[in-house]
Amino acid sequence: AQSVTQLGSHVSVSEGALVLLRCNYSSSVPPYLFWYVQYPNQGLQLLLKYTTGATLVKGINGFEAEFKKSETSFHLTKPSAHMSDAAEYFCAVSDGGATNKLIFGTGTLLAVQP
Amino acid sequence: IAGITQAPTSQILAAGRRMTLRCTQDMRHNAMYWYRQDLGLGLRLIHYSNTAGTTGKGEVPDGYSVSRANTDDFPLTLASAVPSQTSVYFCASSDGATQYFGPGTRLTVL
């Protein structure tokens, strides 16, 4: 069975500071990994994904994540936070099979302080 | 390109009533999904469909049913709503690698 753990339900950073949102996964097969962002009262928008190949994945809005198999991690980072980054972020895993079902973490709410 | 549309945007429903949440996609994706989002629990899969004519149960299917008569539409029905079904419901479709989400329906069952 697959699972996702997001450490820290709330993270607060200052504008211009590094953003680090943690995600660890459990999977018995090579995983497909995703980060989604949800702005207030909106649906989920794909930030980035890892399927195969290069382990450092770049996404939209300056975010990137690195797949580390040895640590079963897929942490999300951004060098410099912007006020517009304030949102909830979800890490998710799938087995990439025919059904492609996603298992989500419980989310991390990012606050950006001026 | 509309992507995925959901209706209604929000609804208040009396317990015991029947309710159908609508979901339509225009991307011709074979796979579609229904999730519910609850505070502190993230998103949980209710039902899914790999292709028109087939459906499957997700993590929390009890009290919900779905149908997939064609590629574009994937309605979710609550036969007899209960307060624990108060949630935000998201429909999604997949191109095989990535799931794309609709804007959601906020449902309150009183």
In this complex, do A9 and B94 lie within 8 Å of one another by their Cβ atoms? Answer: no
| Neighboring chain A residues of B103 at a CB cutoff of 8 Å | 42-43
For chain B, the farthest-separated pair of C-alpha atoms sits apart, in whole angstroms, at 38
Give how far B96 is from chain A: nearest CA, Å: 7
pLDDT in tens, A20-72: 999 999 987 788 999 999 998 888 999 999 988 899 999 999 999 999 999 99
Stretch B48-52: mean pLDDT: 95
How many A-B residue pairs are in contact by the CB < 8 A criterion?
Answer: 54
Best residue in B98, B100, B105 to probe A by mutation, most A CBs within 10 Å? B98
Q: Who among B31, B35, B101 is closest to A100 (CB)?
A: B31
Q: What pLDDT is attached to residue B79?
A: 95
Which amino acid is it at A65?
A
> Rounded mean pLDDT of chain B?
95
Q: Who among A43, A49, A99 is closest to B56 (CB)?
A: A99
pLDDT in tens, B68-84: 999 999 999 999 999 99
- Vertex B29 angle, CA B23 and B30, to 5°: 95
Instruction: Examine the pLDDT at B1 and tell me if it is beyond 70.
Output: no
**Quick one: pLDDT band at residue B29, thresholds 50, 70, 90?**
very high
Q: Are the beta carbons of A110 and A38 closer than 8 angstroms?
A: no
Q: What pLDDT is attached to residue A31?
A: 86
Best residue in B43, B44, B49, B51 to probe A by mutation, most A CBs within 10 Å? B43
> Rounded mean pLDDT of chain A?
92
pLDDT in tens, B53-66: 999 999 999 999 99
